[in-house]
Amino acid sequence: MYADTSASVRNGQIIDWSDPPETSLGQFRRMVIEGVGDGARLSALFAEPERSSEAFRLTAVLAWPEENALSVVSCPIGRSYQSLTPECPAAGWFEREIAEQWGIHPQSHPWLKPIRFQPPHCGEGGGPLARRAIGLADFFRLEGEEVHEVAVGPVHAGVIEPGHFRFQCHGETVYHLEISLGYQHRGIERALRGGPDRRTRHYFETLAGDTTIGHATAYCRAVEALGGVHPSARAESIVAIAAELERIANHIGDLGALAGDVGFLPTMSYCGRIRGDVLNATAMLCGNRFGRGLAVPGGVDFDIDAALAQEVLHRLDSIERDAVSAIELLFDAPSVMARFEGVGAVSEQSARAIGLVGVAARASGVPCDVRHEFPYGIYQFTQMPICTWHSGDCFARAYVRWLEVQQSLAFVRERLRSLPPGDLNRNVSELRANQCVVSLTEGWRGEICHVAITDDRGRFRAYKVVDPSFHNWFGLACALRGQQISDFPLCNKSFNLSYCGHDL
C-alpha cells in the first residue's frame, strides 16, 4: 500500500479528482510493478487527456484483495513512456489499448499491435499504431519444416461472435495461438463521455448482452457513489438476486455447451432448456429474460412481492432438480472426463502473471472474487464463499462453474425468503464535479471494473470499462500452447469469453 502518493479507497468510494496526487512516472512504474508483485491485481490501466494541457494522465487501479482496498495511482505522461509490460505482463493488453486510443508509445512493449483497430480518440492518431484495416497486423510466425498456419474466423461456421484466431501448428499440435479481435467495436467509451444521459444505462445493458446485470450494476454503483445516494437493502437484494440468476443461467448454458463440444448430447440438450428456465425466472422479475431495465441508478425499477418470490422459489426447485441430474451425468461420464481432464491447463503462476480473473482464475487455484474480496451491495452483509479448483484445465473451469451454480442457487433462495423492507428507488439527481470512482462487481465471467471521472459540471469526462474478457483472452491463447488443435473449441468454450465485452 502506498498511501502517500496514491488514493486508497473502498470499492465504490469517491476520490476527489480536481487535484490528483502528483506522482512521477518512475514512482508510478514502481508502485504498479511492485504492487502486482505483492499480490495486487491490475484492475484497470488507462490514459486520458489532461484538462489543461496537451499531455495525458496515465491511471492504474490496483486491487488489494487482502486489505479490501483499491489504490488509484496516476501520473502525467507525454507521447511516450517506458512500458510496464516487460515487468508486469498483465499490463500488456492495456498498453496496446492506450497506444491505439491516444497514440501514446509504450516504449519496449514486447508485442505492440492494434487491439481493436479503432480510430484514435483524438487527433490523427498516427503514433506507433496508425489506423489500418481490421485484422491487418503482423502475426507471430513459426518457421520450419512441416510447420503450418491455420487461420480461423472472423466468420465462423456456427452462430457466434466474430474474432480471428491464428494458430501456428506442427501437425495437430498448437505451438502458438494469436487472437485478433475488434470486429465488434462500437465506440461505447467514446459515447459515454458527457453522460450520464438517457441512453447511458442502455449502453451498459447491451455492452455484453449476457452480462446485462453485471455491467448495469457496476454502472449504477458508480453513479450512486458520485451522486451520494445509497440504495435500500431491498433494492440491493433484488439486484443481487438478478445477478446470481444471470450467473446460474450462463454457467448452466456453458456446461451444456461444453457437453455439446465433446458430443455428449444428453447434458447439452437438457442444459440448453434449463438455461431457458432460469432466464424465464429473470423475466418474471422484470419482464426481460436478460434483466434489462431492472437495475437503475439509485435502486431497481421492479419489486418482488411475496407471491412472486414464492413462484420463483418454486421454479428454482425444479431448475435445481433438473440441473443436478443433467450435470452430474456429465461429470460421471468417463468419456467426458477423458476429454476435460488435462486439456488446456493454465498454471496458478501463469494465471497470476497474466492477471486472469473470474472463473478462469479460480479454476487455476487463484482465489479471487469481488463479491468476497471487495463486497458491494448486499454482499457486504452476507458471506459469498469462493469456489476454486487447482488443476486449471477444462475440467476445473467446468467444475468451478457447477460449484458456483450451487452456491448461487442457495444464495438466491436465502435472499428471496428474507427480502428486507425498503423503498425501491432513491433518485440520483446531480453528480459531484471532479470526482473519480472505481466500481468493481463480479459478473458471471469475473471482475468487472468501471472507472468514472466527472468534469466541472458533473458529467463524465472519462469512463473506462474493463470487462473480464479483456483480462482473460490472453489466458485462452496461453492455455492452447502444446495442445491439440482439435481441442481448441473445447478450451474456447471453457473460457467462454465475450467478444463484444472486449471490443466495447
Partner 1 sequence: MTALASILHVVLAITLSPLLLGVINRTKAKFAGRTGQPLLQAYYDLGKLLQKGAVYSSTATWVFRAGPVVGLAATLIALAFLPLSGAPGLGAFPGDLILLVYALGLLRFMTVLAALDTGSAFEGMGASREVQFSMLAEPVLLLSLAALAICTGKAGLSDIFASLPTLDSLQWVPTALLASVALFVVLLSENARIPVDDPNTHLELTMIHEVMVLDHGGVDFGLIQYGAALKLWIFSALFVGAAMPWRIGQPVMDLLVGVGGVFLSAVFVGVVESVMARLRLIRVPQMLASAAVLALIAVIWAVR
- Whether the CB-CB separation of 388 and 399 falls below 8 Å is answered with no
In whole angstroms, the minimum distance from the beta carbon of 343 to partner 1 comes to 8
In whole angstroms, the minimum distance from the beta carbon of 89 to partner 1 comes to 27
Burial class (CB in 10 A: 0-12, 13-18, 19+), 419: middle
Cβ proximity to partner 1, 223 vs 268, nearer residue: 268
> φ, ψ for residue 93 (rounded to 5)?
-70, -30
- Count of all residues that appear for the chain in the document: 504
Does the protein bind partner 1 through residue 489 (CB under 8 A)?
yes
Does the protein bind partner 1 through residue 487 (CB under 8 A)?
yes
What b/e readout covers 332-341, taking b as 16+ CB neighbours within 10 angstroms?
ebeebeebbe
- Whether the CB-CB separation of 91 and 85 falls below 8 Å is answered with yes
Binding mask 146-165 for partner 1 (x = CB under 8 A): --xxxxx---xxx-------
- Whether the CB-CB separation of 393 and 340 falls below 8 Å is answered with yes
H or E segment at 501?
Answer: helix 499-503
Select the residue interacting with partner 1 from 81, 411, 488, 499 (CB under 8 A).
Answer: 488
Cβ proximity to partner 1, 341 vs 414, nearer residue: 341
In this chain, which stretch among 36-44, 197-205, 331-339, 344-352 interacts with partner 1, using CB under 8 A? 331-339
Cβ proximity to partner 1, 239 vs 343, nearer residue: 343
Instruction: Give the whole-angstrom CA distance, residue 92 versus residue 474.
Output: 9
Binding mask 332-371 for partner 1 (x = CB under 8 A): -x-xx-xx---x----------------------------
- Whether the CB-CB separation of 222 and 439 falls below 8 Å is answered with yes
Instruction: Give the whole-angstrom CA distance, residue 225 versus residue 237.
Output: 18
Cβ proximity to partner 1, 122 vs 151, nearer residue: 151
Does the protein bind partner 1 through residue 262 (CB under 8 A)?
yes
Cβ proximity to partner 1, 303 vs 320, nearer residue: 320
In this chain, which stretch among 8-16, 236-244, 386-394, 482-490 interacts with partner 1, using CB under 8 A? 482-490
Cell of 141: 510466425
In whole angstroms, the minimum distance from the beta carbon of 392 to partner 1 comes to 18
Does the protein bind partner 1 through residue 270 (CB under 8 A)?
yes
Instruction: Give the whole-angstrom CA distance, residue 8 versus residue 5.
Output: 9
In whole angstroms, the minimum distance from the beta carbon of 263 to partner 1 comes to 4
In whole angstroms, the minimum distance from the beta carbon of 134 to partner 1 comes to 21
Cβ proximity to partner 1, 148 vs 417, nearer residue: 148
Does the protein bind partner 1 through residue 480 (CB under 8 A)?
no
In whole angstroms, the minimum distance from the beta carbon of 172 to partner 1 comes to 7
**Strand locations in 119-218 (E):** 147-152, 164-170, 173-180
User: Could you identify the residue written with the cell 434449463?
Assistant: 274
Instruction: Give the whole-angstrom CA distance, residue 249 versus residue 284.
Output: 14
Sheet holding 460-466, edge to edge: 14-16, 435-442, 447-454, 460-466
In whole angstroms, the minimum distance from the beta carbon of 485 to partner 1 comes to 6
Give the interface with partner 1 as residue ranges (CB under 8 A): 148-152, 156-158, 172, 259, 261-266, 268-270, 273, 333, 335-336, 338-339, 343, 484-489
